[in-house]
Amino acid sequence: MRSKSIDTMKKIKTFAEEYYMLHYQSPSMAQIAENIGIARSTAYKYLIEMDHRGMISYDGKKIRTEIIDHSNPKMIRAAVLGNIACGLPNVAEENIEEYVSLPESLFGRGEFYILRARGESMIEAGIEDGDLVVIRKQSYANDGDIIVALVEEEATLKKMYREENGRIILHPENKDMSDIVVDNCIIQGIAVKVIKDLN
C-alpha cells in the first residue's frame, strides 16, 4: 500500500465506534473490509498505521478509541429460562435456553433472568405472547408491581395487590379475565422491562 488515505482511516474509526455501540465488541477484520470496501489485508495495514498514529488503540484483536473507552457499559449476565404463563398459573420451565448481556445503565443492579411470556392476560400492560420479560430476582414487591408469583408450585406473571385482610390479588391486565385471589404466594421476582417479540 503506497499511501494511506486519511478519509479511509476516519471511516474505519467511525465504523468501529458505531459497531461497538450496537454490539459491545470490535468488528472483525472481514466486517471492516466489507463495510469500507477494501481487502482484509488492507484493513489490517490501516489498523496498524492508525494505532501507530494514535488515532486508535489496536492490540491485534480489539479496537479502542476515546469514544469506546468512555461508553464501555457494565454488563449483567441474565439467563433466558423459558416460558411463564400470562393466563392461568402454569409450571415455569427452568431450562436455560441461553445467556444474554444486559447493560446495567438500562436495567439497574441486581440478579436478573428472562422469561418468555405465554398467553394474553397481560396484554393491557404491553406484555404479549412471545415477548421476553426481564425479571429482577427478589422476594418482595409493592402493590402494583408485575411479579412472578409461585402459587402451589405453579408460576404466573401478574400484577400484585394486597387486601387489608392479608390476601393477595394476582390481577391480569386483560379486562376479559378475572383476578386470582390467594392466601399467599411466593414472589420470585418483579418485571422490570419487556423486550418485544418482533416476529
Residue 115, all three cell numbers: 422469561
Which residue in the list 13, 26, 121, 159 is annotated as catalytic? 121
Residue 41 a catalytic site member: no
Choosing from 11, 158, 175, 178, the catalytic residue is 158
H-only helix segments in 77-160: 104-107
Contacts of 44 (CB under 8 A, 6+ apart): 29
Task: Write the CA distances from 147 to 27, 61, 172, integer angstroms.
Answer: 38, 42, 11
Q: Is 45 assigned a catalytic role?
A: no
Tell me the C-alpha distance between 177 and 96, whole Å: 30
- Ramachandran quadrant class, 26 (left: phi over 0; alpha: psi -120 to 50; beta: rest): beta
* Residues identified as active-site: 121, 158
